[in-house]
Amino acid sequence: MSFETFVTDKTGLQKFYEAIIEKNETYAPVEKFGNFDFKRITRLSECNPESPIEKTRSIKPLFFPRSAKVMKYVATSAGTEIAETDKDPLAGKRVIIGAKHCDARALQVLDKVYSWDYIDTDFRNRRQNTVIVSTRCDKAAIHCFCTSLDYDVETLDAMDVLIVNGIDGKIYIRAKTEKGNAFLKNFPTIHDSQLPENEAAPALKAQYEAFAATFRLQMNYREVNEKLSKVFDSPEFESLSSNCISCNTCAFVCPTCHCFKISDEKVKDTGVRYKSYDSCNNGYFTLMAGGHNPRPAKYRRWRQRALHKFVYYKERFGENLCVGCGKCTFACPVNISIFEVVNQVSDTAM
Amino acid sequence: MDYTKQIREIATKLFTEEKIDVFVGYRTTGFDENQVPVIITGLEEIPKLIFNDKSVFNLTNYLKQEHTRNKRVGLIVKGCDSRSLNLLLTENQVKREKLFVIGIACEGVCDDEGNKMQHCTECMFPDAVVFDEMVGTTHDARLYQVNADVRELASKSLVERREYFETVFESCIRCNACRHSCPLCYCAKCVIDQETSTLYHGANTTSSAFHALMTWSLHLAGRCVDCRNCESACPMNLPLHLLHKQNESVIYENFQEHMAGVVEGDRGAFYKYSMKDPDDFIM
Amino acid sequence: METIVKDQHVSIEKPEIAAPPDWEPVIIGILCNWCSYAGSDLTGTSRIQYPPNIRIIRVPCTSRVDPWFLIKALQTTADGVLVSGCHPGDCHYITGNYYARRRFLVTKKLLSFIGFHENRIQFSWVSAAEGPKFAKVVAKVTDDIKKLGPLHLYKKENFEK
Amino acid sequence: MARVGVFVCFCGANIADYVDVPMVVEETKKIREVKFAIEYKYMCSDPGQQLIREAIVQHRLTSIVVAACSPRMHEKTFRKALSDAGMNPYLLEVANIREHSSWVHQKDKKAATEKAADLVRMAVAKSIANEQLFEISVPVTKRALVIGGGIAGIQAALDIADARIPVVLVEKSPSIGGKMAQLDETFPTLDCSQCILTPKMVDVASHPYIELIPYSEVIELEGFVGNYKARIKKKASYVNFATCTGCGACWQKCPVKVPNEYNMGIDKRKAIYTPFPQAVPNKPVIDAAYCTMLLKGKCGICAKVCQVGAIDFKMQEEIIEREIGAVVVATGYDLWDPKPYEEYGVGRFKDIITSLEFERMVSANGPTNGLPVRPSDGKIPKNVVFIKCIGSRDEAKGIEYCSKICCMYTTKHTILLHHKVHDSHAYVFYMDIRAAGKGYEEFVKKAQVDTAATYLRGRVSKIYKKEDKLIVRGEDSQIGQVVEVVADLVVLATAVIPPKDNPELARMLGISYDKYGYLSEAHPKLRPVETAKAGIFLAGCTQAPKDIPDTVAQASACAAKVCGLFAGDTMKKDPMISTVNTEFCSGCQNCVQVCPYGAIVTEEVPMGHGSKEMRTVARINEGVCQGCGSCVAVCRSMAISLAGFTDHQIINEIVSI
């Protein structure tokens, strides 16, 4: 299915963004300490919708917060009462602008795990109530490899509205979903510039091709998937993980990692239960109450991380749990590249 | 500053003479200027080794990792790294006889953009203080100066400082990368991970970030060597050095202690005292 | 007694939220068993009156006080903290308060650096004989913190007064 | 889940008048863990305690909170009540709602009540984290080591031995007796020093419970209170004490003459010698530094004259080990060398002597037959100037403190001078006369009258020689004039200083010493004989300058402490001490660094996960730990916890207000 495409210029886009911000609860990349994190904004000047890839955190926290309050309780001699939980602050109707397409794709992957045996209603509500406006990148960053994975970046419909900076200098705004299409109807200013499909498609394709040509990293994901499923006992994991310092940053910035821990904090007689990010690279991640830890060694945790991304998730849900965004590699203090790791390990497969 | 040749020569000698089992150094990423720490185990890997002003990461962190445990380790240390090594030796975390330390007379390292890092411009001890072999030309002693960022922030009003740090703690995502990348954070289980309902701070709230970072910086007070591994690891680019440098300036100015890790056997200001310590802040 | 380190830049925190009219600060007092706790007992037996805002926690020695307690207190229940111990040289455990003194100074300066008013974290030496001094110290700390208003900075979410 | 019982006391009207006690009970009942709460008039009374005992059984309580007076008052009482009910006494917490609330907030009942409720809430929260603790018992070796055989060591050894506790008395020199044996008479009674000391020395030698090891030094002490092991180095005396009869033939025939330390070098002794005639043990030793047989292999006369063949030139030093339970350190003092007083001509003018030299001269068994003489010409001096505070109270040249005994012995010296040389005249330059002590002031007053000595208040600025006299120029500050005294002899009252090897000794014993080198007591007022290290006690001048009565009193106090320590077969200790959770211990040894008692040692434990590798962790010696918690606060991994004040307990208190 194809939706309408509109063409505009820089000022038009700016007006479009301003109109979004004015009418909606809007989230956008806001700079803090040289880093872009998605925050609630009220003015366009607060954010940079075209923030650099390597410095932008994913939009995952807007759907799966870094720490979410599960419940609040009061324990007295009269018994333990679950206090009235606050309304989910992320459940309202909202718009995200400046999202990267890989981040949007990551949500599609996460949808699978969140609506599998148990449906996470919070996550689903947040997804349903959010319009994602994504700008297609012009140039791949050094660790990007989204074009090498099991989704087509060109036809990707994970975002509701796609903005493309055409190589002709024009800016194309295109709805990618019904939700996006309906959303665009609220902005009459850009309607004047509707393009017929036969004009829009080549412009978008041309931009994509120019973009796709900038990738340093290329791989054949089918081969990697295939080979990785056979390398569980590869000694390569040990040497590849040798310079990992188990800092967990990769998991915290990853747009698809979804492991969490539950913790209680109690003051006086009131307690709050939080659900917060955790990382399988953490040595205590698999520590059990009895003291047994099935993954005490670093390479085992590393293997789990790599294989979960490229083998286990694929086996269960048919998709890679990696969208090729390169965020983990950008964030890694010792520059370990997941791309290198999976490729080198799969090379050892028979 | 490019000591690749010397490092490779020394590493070759060490492996040939079978003095070490592993060597911790740097290699290029293969695609950009930046470097990856690398643990090599034999002569055949020596051509990977490199050392220049992009060799930023403090390698003493690897002394707490399982790949070097109970092995004879060859190691490259810059001035700051050597101070953390000194503390690790003092705190009985590593055995000196198991190490072969290549000390660097460091000219300062550069960030991603190629600019000299701020702490290198302020560095008091660019030369390694612990080493078996020294590479480079040594420097004269430099005077202590309060970190420029700390000075600037301290000159602001209380409200401004509070607002600034509220942003810092709010931006923290509690990934604990700062702790893991710190060579001096080697506790079996960190105090902020202790699981008792009233003690536990695993949640990622501003309050818990405040708690975690404050506790962390106080545990490093008088010990932080300003290698900035924590900042390079922080995915949110938080100015973590501010906390450490603030403590350092208070300690240096009030207790006239040595800088952390400069003197062997010196554990840092919190583990000793003087009768002459300031008392005027106490009623 | 009169020496309180003055914040050179601003004398008072800007209260984020105005104090309710009947607001009373909560001050946590951590006292060493041998001097200050005994001194506070003496204040009691001498019937010297002081403001009722302080809640006292007994520890064997000020060297037992981990700066972590102060952080935890400010983060949860307290509007201000007072730690009190033996005068230098009088420590029941010989050197405890010397170690504590260093930690206190660094902690106080660090907390002040990140935006807590210095008067929220106070220290005193009160001997077992200084009942009147203990009352004065408490009165002063209470007064200081009343001026500063309720502490909201980094309070845990589940804390309600 | 915890089941806490709360008992709130009215304390008659003391609490009830200012705190709404029933309200506090009501508030307390709201706490989840509180299963029983009640108020009572006097909790400390028998019926009050009975209430606790009954409730423990009836409500299956797991911890108890009593809200009453200060825990410093009745904690023990209530702990006993818990014990009586079969509950571990350390499951008690006391909320101090009297000293901390009702008595100090008498004008505001509402606030006092709120505060009391908070204090109870905190105590409840703490008590939830309370653990059962058990009194620690440490076995003791009932043998004491006394280091130093001066009057302090002698007195301590005798007192301990009289209580039928074995004592090992180690003396560095060949004979016990110390400085007191060099004195002639003692103030303020002018008792003959030898007459009162030597019987005690003989007692030591003959006491069945005292093992006297002379001519020896303690070189190592390991272990902890009740369980020390001392290594004692016995120097080679080259005389077999077992066979030597002490006849004296050897030293009479010995050809080598050596300055006699006992007489301050005024006369000579031999290379084989007994320090003084009444020495105990009265056996000679060979001074290896002078004996020509030992130095050059020539002579050996002593061996030839010895009828019992006790001389053994091949004797080697010997190491003796003794298991002991407590140590009394009584290493005495030294005298300050007045050399820095150059303007007095110290070292240039022979007729300037120190007080102890004067003391030896006037002593009946001294080198000059009991008469003071001028070292320069051997004449009896007529005008003698005594100068006090030589080194004492002198920050510039000497030490800051007052040596305490000089005023008194100088007074004694004026009397002795008067007795020995009737037509003499004494001049005393003094700063103050400090005569605090029983009979001391009277002694000084009487001496001033009897001897008609001239007391001049002021410092001496210069001494110079004029013909064979010494001219002492000083200030008489009372008339504000410079005075000059023509003196035949000048006696300097030099300061008391600690023995120079005190710091080394302190390090070996693991105790502390002050900036002068005096060994430090645990508390200047309340624990003056204990050191910070349990089981090590101080007697005499090694702790600070003091006179003989004070020294003897302190020595006896040490003996009482040692006897108290050894009263049972084991020592009982409060269980509120630190313990290490080795799982979390990273082995950084910060705790070892800050522990004031040296109570923390390291040990090796397996790495875990079935690994054969070992790692180093800290271990607390429960016999030594005093429970200050210094180690807990410096333990970054939270591996150490202090029973009764765990992190969990304190945080519980903080978050429950």
Specify the pLDDT at position C161: 43
Q: Which chains touch C (3 or more CB pairs under 8 A)?
A: A, B, D
pLDDT tens-digit series, residues D415-433: 999 999 999 999 999 999 9
Domains of chain C: 27-148 (3.40.50)
Indicate whether B73 belongs to any domain: yes
Nearest-CA distance D578 → chain A (Å) = 24
| CATH no. for D574-655 | 3.30.70.20
Q: Which residues in A lie closer than 8 A to residue C159 (C-beta atoms)?
A: 267-268, 270
Per DSSP bridges, beta strands D268-270 and D257-259 are antiparallel
Number of CB pairs, chain A paired with chain D, less than 8 A apart: 19
pLDDT above 90 as % of chain D: 71
Q: For testing the chain B interface, which of D636, D650, D654, D655 should be mutated: the one with the most B CBs within 10 Å?
A: D636
Search chain C and give the residue with CA nearest D654: C73
The CATH 3.50.50.60 portion of chain D extends over 144-327+522-565, 334-497
Indicate whether B282 belongs to any domain: no
Nearest-CA distance C138 → chain B (Å) = 11
Residues B102 and B48 in one domain: yes
Q: What is the DSSP string of D470-485?
A: EEEEEEETTTTEEEEE
Among B residues 165-184, those touching chain A with beta carbons less than 8 Å apart? 167-168, 171, 173-177, 180-181
Q: Which residues in A lie closer than 8 A to residue B174 (C-beta atoms)?
A: 66-67, 276-277
The partner residue sitting opposite C110, judged by closest CB among B153, B217, B277, is: B217
Nearest-CA distance D589 → chain B (Å) = 6
Euclidean distance between CA atoms D409 and D392, whole angstroms? 14
Search chain B and give the residue with CA nearest A238: B67
Among C residues 8-67, those touching chain D with beta carbons less than 8 Å apart? 24, 26, 28, 33, 37-38, 40-41, 43-45, 47-50, 52, 55-61, 63-66
Q: Which residues in C lie closer than 8 A to residue A268 (C-beta atoms)?
A: 77, 159-160
Tally of domains in chain B: 2
Q: Which residues in A lie closer than 8 A to residue B65 (C-beta atoms)?
A: 242, 245-246, 298
CATH topology classification for D144-327+522-565: FAD/NAD(P)-binding domain (3.50.50)
pLDDT surpassing 50 at residue C2: no
The answer for residues whose C-beta is within 8 angstroms of residue D507's C-beta and 6 or more apart is none
Residues B174 and B95 in one domain: no
When pLDDT is averaged across residues A131-148 and rounded to a whole number, the result is 91
Nearest-CA distance A128 → chain C (Å) = 28
Euclidean distance between CA atoms B125 and B103, whole angstroms? 12
The partner residue sitting opposite B198, judged by closest CB among D584, D587, D651, is: D651
Residues B113 and B173 in one domain: no
Q: Which pTM value belongs to this model? A: 0.81
The partner residue sitting opposite A272, judged by closest CB among C76, C77, C158, is: C158
Per DSSP bridges, beta strands D611-620 and D600-608 are antiparallel
- Across chain D, what does the average pLDDT equal? 91
Specify the pLDDT at position D73: 86
pLDDT surpassing 90 at residue D439: yes
The partner residue sitting opposite D589, judged by closest CB among B91, B194, B198, is: B91
Residues B11 and B126 in one domain: yes
The answer for residues whose C-beta is within 8 angstroms of residue A219's C-beta and 6 or more apart is A145, A148, A339, A342, A343
| Residue D409 pLDDT level (bands cut at 50, 70, 90) | very high
* 8 Å CB contact of D647 and B219: no
Euclidean distance between CA atoms B70 and B82, whole angstroms? 20
Please classify residue D400 by burial: count the beta carbons closer than 10 Å to its beta carbon, then call 0-12 exposed, 13-18 middle and 19+ buried.
exposed
The partner residue sitting opposite B191, judged by closest CB among D594, D616, D638, is: D638
Residues B162 and B263 in one domain: yes
Q: Is A273 on the interface with C (CB under 8 A)?
A: no
| CATH no. for D334-497 | 3.50.50.60
Q: What is the ipTM metric for this complex? A: 0.90
Q: For testing the chain C interface, which of D626, D630, D647 should be mutated: the one with the most C CBs within 10 Å?
A: D630
List helix spans (H) across D262-315.
Answer: 292-296, 301-305
Residues B97 and B155 in one domain: no
Q: Which residues in A lie closer than 8 A to residue D29 (C-beta atoms)?
A: 77
pLDDT tens-digit series, residues D307-320: 998 999 999 999 99
Nearest-CA distance C92 → chain B (Å) = 16
pLDDT tens-digit series, residues D333-361: 999 999 999 899 998 999 999 999 999 99
pLDDT tens-digit series, residues B205-250: 888 889 999 999 999 999 999 999 999 899 999 999 999 999 999 9
B242 is in which domain, residue-wise?
A: 148-268
Search chain D and give the residue with CA nearest B275: D515
Among C residues 110-129, those touching chain D with beta carbons less than 8 Å apart? none
When pLDDT is averaged across residues D47-60 and rounded to a whole number, the result is 91
pLDDT above 70 as % of chain B: 98
Secondary structure string (H, E, C) spanning D616-654? EEEEECCCCCCCCCHHHHHCCCCCEEECCCCHHHHHHHH
Specify the pLDDT at position C5: 34
Nearest-CA distance D627 → chain A (Å) = 28
Residues B103 and B171 in one domain: no
The partner residue sitting opposite D588, judged by closest CB among B92, B198, B199, is: B92
Q: Which residues in A lie closer than 8 A to residue D34 (C-beta atoms)?
A: 77
Q: Which chains touch A (3 or more CB pairs under 8 A)?
A: B, C, D
Q: Which residues in B lie closer than 8 A to residue A328 (C-beta atoms)?
A: none
pLDDT tens-digit series, residues D525-571: 888 999 878 899 999 999 999 999 999 999 999 999 999 999 888 88
Measured in whole angstroms, the distance separating CA D499 from the mean position of its chain's CA atoms is 14
Q: Which chains touch B (3 or more CB pairs under 8 A)?
A: A, C, D
Residues B85 and B184 in one domain: no
Specify the pLDDT at position D630: 92
- Across chain A, what does the average pLDDT equal? 88
pLDDT tens-digit series, residues C58-91: 999 999 999 999 999 998 889 999 999 998 877 8
pLDDT tens-digit series, residues B152-179: 999 998 888 999 999 999 889 888 899 9
Measured in whole angstroms, the distance separating CA B71 from the mean position of its chain's CA atoms is 22
When pLDDT is averaged across residues D65-71 and rounded to a whole number, the result is 92
Q: Is D175 on the interface with B (CB under 8 A)?
A: no
Q: Is B142 on the interface with A (CB under 8 A)?
A: no
Dihedral angle sign, alpha carbons of residues D433, D438, D442, D444: negative
When pLDDT is averaged across residues A213-222 and rounded to a whole number, the result is 88
Residues B100 and B180 in one domain: no
Nearest-CA distance C4 → chain D (Å) = 25
pLDDT tens-digit series, residues D318-332: 999 999 999 999 999
Q: Which residues in B lie closer than 8 A to residue A271 (C-beta atoms)?
A: 197
Domain end point (choices B78, B106, B135)? B135
pLDDT tens-digit series, residues A71-83: 888 988 888 888 8
Euclidean distance between CA atoms D108 and B262, whole angstroms? 57
When pLDDT is averaged across residues D114-119 and rounded to a whole number, the result is 93
Nearest-CA distance D626 → chain B (Å) = 19
Measured in whole angstroms, the distance separating CA D245 from the mean position of its chain's CA atoms is 37
pLDDT surpassing 50 at residue D165: yes
D517: left (phi over 0), alpha (psi -120 to 50) or beta: left
* 8 Å CB contact of D32 and A266: no
Which pair of structure tokens corresponds to residue B89?
A: 């030796």
Indicate whether B279 belongs to any domain: no
Q: Return the residue matching tokens 């030309």.
A: B137
When pLDDT is averaged across residues B138-150 and rounded to a whole number, the result is 86
pLDDT surpassing 70 at residue D91: yes
Write out the CATH class of domain D4-128. alpha beta
Residue B233: count other Cβ atoms within 10 Å of its Cβ: 26
Q: Is D649 on the interface with B (CB under 8 A)?
A: no
* 8 Å CB contact of C115 and B153: no
Dihedral angle sign, alpha carbons of residues D564, D565, D571, D576: positive
The CATH 3.40.50 portion of chain D extends over 4-128
Q: Which residues in B lie closer than 8 A to residue A35 (C-beta atoms)?
A: 171, 235-237
Q: Which residues in B lie closer than 8 A to residue A331 (C-beta atoms)?
A: 235
pLDDT surpassing 80 at residue B128: yes
Residue D624: count other Cβ atoms within 10 Å of its Cβ: 24
Nearest-CA distance B201 → chain D (Å) = 13
Nearest-CA distance B202 → chain A (Å) = 6
Specify the pLDDT at position C7: 36
Nearest-CA distance D534 → chain C (Å) = 12
Secondary structure string (H, E, C) spanning chain B? CECHHHHHHHHHHHHHCCCCCEEEEEEECCCCCCEEEEEECCHHHHHHCECECCCCCCHHHHHHCHHHCCCCEEEEECHHHHHHHHHHHHCCCCCHHHEEEEEEECCCCECCCCCECHHHHCCCCCECCCCCEEECCCCCCCCCCCCHHHHHHHCCCHHHHHHHHHHHHHHCCCCCHHHHHCCCCCCCCCHHHCCCCCCCCCCCCHHHHHHHHHHHHHHCCCCCCCCCHHHHHCCCCCCCHHHHHHHHHHHHHHHCCCCCCCCCCCCCHHHCCCCCCCCCCEC
The partner residue sitting opposite C44, judged by closest CB among D98, D108, D634, is: D98
Phi then psi dihedrals of residue D258, to 5 deg = -135, 140
The answer for residues whose C-beta is within 8 angstroms of residue A185's C-beta and 6 or more apart is none
pLDDT tens-digit series, residues A327-346: 999 999 888 888 888 888 88
Euclidean distance between CA atoms A173 and D614, whole angstroms? 65
